[in-house]
Amino acid sequence: MYQNKNVLILGLAKSGFAAAKLLHELGAKVTVNDQKPFEENEAAQSLEKMGIRVICGSHPLELLDESFDLMVKNPGIPYYNPLVAKAMEKGIPIITEVELAYQISEAPFIGITGSNGKTTTTTLIYEMLKEGGKQPLIAGNIGTVACEVAKEASSENWIVTELSSFQLMGIMDFQPKISVLLNLFNAHLDYHGTKEAYAQAKGNLFKNQTNDDFAVVNADDETVMKLVQSSDAAKVFFSTTQRLQNGAWMENGMIYFNGEEIIETKDIALPGKHNLENILAAVSAAKLTGVDNEAIVRVLKTFTGVKHRLQFVAEVNGRKFYNDSKATNILATQKALSAFEQDSVILLAGGLDRGNEFDELIPYFKNVKAIVLFGQTAQKLERAAKQAGIEMIEHVDNVEKAVPIAYELSQPGDIVLLSPACASWDQYKTFEQRGDIFIGAVHKLK
């Protein structure tokens, strides 16, 4: 398929590296272009040793004077990047690495997206399929790069893939056997420009599905329901508020799928009301692959969550510490605060300023007795905290310094919660790094 094709890989990171290597193996003439200087760029050096052409340090427009058949773009590089914009002008097809994975895969895909809950739902589906003997492989934003997984997969496997709006903008033929859209609200507007453009990117998940495929969607989310209308896939719904003819719902403390009792909610190990939507979506996807109820129940009774997503870290002198560093937007922090409705919370928050205010958090601050702030958004969060009547407000330089201060403000029985409501990039490379620093600081308290 790619033999002797001229392909430009724009941006390295894990996905660019994997795509370059794969295309080289498939006989393509690969050029890699990455912003990071060659001397500091281990990935570029490694690719050059394989005989792949690399151009580092900038994105020179004259690169496109060569005739490329395809551009594989790092999902994080926006379409208004001059090199990407010029490629679009020239009619060069632009894909992300997940499209490549689909093209070479023998295994069917389950694609999971949404503004929140993707990682938890993806992991739950993977665990349920594994417990049910379906030989799943996990890929995408969680786990290994999709095209590396696809290369090793056979038709006996399922590839369970967490997908971002950035990745979904770069698909052409990608057709998941089962798509899952959890929810939609304003996110990544700095990248997409409008909520409509963001929703459209998410909706790409359905665009190639046929009536042999399934779309698992949130019946309680208006935007999701509008988006799925145009899909040809067989629709399977989930809801925490209504009984459904078709799909998964919750009623009187019981979870049902197509009218069949699955598990009582009191027996579910995963904390937080917000996780019920993720559980219903995962149950739907697992049932559609043929996983039996016993396997689903075993997972739900033992699965306690994903690292950095409302992760219980430790109890120190009666205070429970939770790491929710993956809460990179307001909705995620709202959900985290809702999980601790009956408790006194010391909240650690702040990070990259995307231009938004935090008024939407005010109703959720009712059980927050103190807030410790850091990062670019500290002043904005302080305004919201004051409006909510929070009196104990502290500013610190970073997450590490926030932990001992939070401990001093707390009493036995309190919850200390890192749930930043912001991306990490003003101070940390990733939300994982931010969460790991929090965990380290909590263990130092002991």
pLDDT exceeds cutoff 80 at 168: yes
Q: Is 230 annotated as a binding residue?
A: no
Asked if residue 11 has pLDDT above 90, the reply is yes
Tokens 């407000």 belong to residue: 393
Domain extents in the chain: 6-95, 98-302, 311-445
Q: What mean pLDDT, rounded, does the chain reach? A: 94
Percent of the residues in the chain that have a pLDDT greater than 90, as a whole number? 84
Q: Closest by alpha carbon to 130, among 302, 326, 275, 249?
A: 302
Span 373-383, average pLDDT: 98
Number of other CB atoms surrounding residue 170 within 10 Å: 23
The Cα 10–Cα 72 span in angstroms is 6
Ligand-binding annotation for 258, yes or no, is: no
Rounded to two decimals, the pTM is: 0.80
CA distances from 160 to 86, 141, 228 (A): 34, 11, 20
pLDDT of residue 188: 54
Sequence length of the chain is 446
Burial of 296 (0-12, 13-18, 19+ CB in 10 A): buried
Q: In degrees rounded to 5, what are phi and psi of residue 214?
A: -125, 140
Distance between CA atoms of 312 and 305, rounded to whole angstroms?
Answer: 9
Q: Say how far apart CA 303 and CA 19 lie, in whole Å.
A: 33
Q: Angle between the 118-131 and 293-302 helix axes, to the nearest 10 degrees?
A: 130
CATH for 98-302 is 3.40.1190.10
120 is in an annotated binding site: yes
CA atoms within 13 A on the CB side of 438: 36
Question: 311-445 is classed in which CATH architecture?
Answer: Alpha-Beta Complex (3.90)
Rounded to whole angstroms, the Cα distance separating 182 from 318 reads: 35
Architecture in CATH for domain 6-95:
3-Layer(aba) Sandwich (3.40)
Q: Give the three-class secondary structure for 206.
A: helix
Residue 58 marked in a binding site = no
d(CA 126, CA 76): 25
pLDDT at 191 over 70: no
- Residue 432, both tokens: 């994982």
235: helix, coil or strand? strand
Alpha-carbon torsion (101, 106, 107, 108), positive or negative: positive
Q: Is the model's pLDDT at 388 over the cut of 60?
A: yes
Distance CA 275, CA 269 (A): 11
Residue with the bigger pLDDT between 111 and 165: it is 111
At 266, which helix (H) or strand (E)? none
Q: Checking DSSP bridges between strand 214-218 and strand 234-239, what pairing results, if any?
A: parallel
In which element (H, E) is residue 353 found? none
Q: pLDDT tier at 189 (50, 70, 90 boundaries)?
A: low
Question: Would you say 119 is a known binding-site residue?
Answer: yes
Question: According to the annotation, is 118 in a ligand binding site?
Answer: yes
Helix (H) or strand (E) holding 254: strand 254-257
Q: Which pLDDT score is estimated for 187?
A: 54
Identity of the residue numbered 34:
D
Report the pLDDT averaged over residues 223-232.
93
DSSP 386-422: HHTT--EEEE-SSHHHHHHHHHHH--TT-EEEE--SS
Has 183 been labeled as part of a binding site? no
Q: Is the pLDDT of residue 377 over 60?
A: yes
pLDDT digits (tens, 9 = 90+) for 265-306: 999 998 778 899 999 999 999 999 999 999 999 999 999 888
At residue 192, the pLDDT reads 52
**DSSP-assigned states of every residue in 77-107:** S-TTSHHHHHHHHTT--EE-HHHHHHHH-SS
SS3 220: coil
* Confidence bin at 340 (pLDDT 50/70/90): confident
* Ranges 29-38, 184-193, 341-350, 404-413: which has the least confidence: 184-193
Q: What is the pLDDT of residue 159?
A: 98
Distance, in Å, from the CA atom of 30 to the CA atom of 167, rounded to the nearest integer, reads: 21
Say yes or no to pLDDT of 342 above 90.
no
Residue pair 97/150 in contact (Cβ under 8 Å)? The answer is no
Strands 319-323 and 311-316: antiparallel
238: β partners: 218, 248
- What gap in Å lies between CA 45 and CA 65, rounded to an integer? 24
